[in-house]
Amino acid sequence: MEESVKGGSRKTLDKEEIVESQGEDYLLSRIKEAFGCKEPDVRAYSPLTLAYIGDAVYDLVIRTVVVESANRAADKLHKRTVKYVKAPAQAKIIEALREYLTDEEEAVYRRGRNAKSNTMAKNASLSEYRKATGFEALIGFLYLTGQTDRMIYLIKKGIELAGMED
């Protein structure tokens, strides 16, 4: 399919062609390419660094699911999102997932859970906050290592196992 553009035309890909051409870690590879990011050893990152990026990636996944489920007012979208991204919810998800983690994933989770942070969630216990940090570190690790399919599988499975589906 061709689309007219000033000074010529360009090919417009359909959804299947886009998915085929992009691969599972397309967003990450495009970001690295566009900004000239280096390829450091993600396994050497601090667990709080992994949790930092994992928090954002998990939030993006949940926001995407919430927005795709219905076109609603922003405040309603926010309330639905918070249900999944608050520390107690993340703690519940990771507890439900523990038996599904590989040894490497379990090690990343434990490193994140045991990391000493200078901050604390407002509406969570210390235990919930640490488990949530471990969960976010795991999500960050999976994202940065290009394991997008595994990351999405674990998020979906965790939500199901924790009984948090809408």
Please give the structure tokens belonging to residue 68. 């795709």
> What's the mean pLDDT in 12-27?
52
Catalytic residue among 55, 59, 103, 149: 55
Q: How is the chain split into domains, by residue range?
A: 1-39, 41-161
- Residue 152 pLDDT greater than 60, yes or no: yes
Whether 21 has a pLDDT exceeding 90, the answer reads no
Pick the CATH number of 41-161 from 3.90.79.10, 3.40.50.620, 2.40.30.10, 1.10.1520.10: 1.10.1520.10
Q: In what helix (H) or strand (E) does residue 164 lie, and over which residues does it extend?
A: none
Compute the distance between CA of residue 63 and CA of residue 79 in angstroms, rounded to an integer.
Answer: 11
Token readout for 96 is 């439900």
- Ranges 23-32, 63-72, 106-115, 148-157: which has the least confidence: 23-32
Rounded CA-CA distance 5/136 in Å is 42
Which pLDDT does position 94 carry in this prediction? 98
CA distance 94 to 82: 16
Q: 3-state secondary structure string, 15-84?
A: HHHHHHHHCCCHHHHHHHHHHCCCCCCHHHCCHHHHHHHHHHHHHHHHHHHHHHHCCCCHHHHHHHHHHH
Residue 48 pLDDT > 50: yes
Cα 158 to Cα 46: distance, rounded to the nearest angstrom: 24
Q: Assess whether pLDDT exceeds 50 at residue 138.
A: yes
Q: In the prediction, which pLDDT does 121 show? A: 78
Q: What is the pLDDT of residues 55-107, one digit of tens each?
A: 999 999 999 999 998 888 999 999 999 999 999 999 999 999 999 999 999 99
Residue 123 structure tokens: 């509406």
Phi, then psi, of 124 in degrees rounded to 5: -145, 150
Q: Rounded CA gap, 80 and 1, in Å?
A: 38
149 catalytic? Reply is no
pLDDT of the residue at 3 = 42
CB 14 within 8 A of CB 1: yes
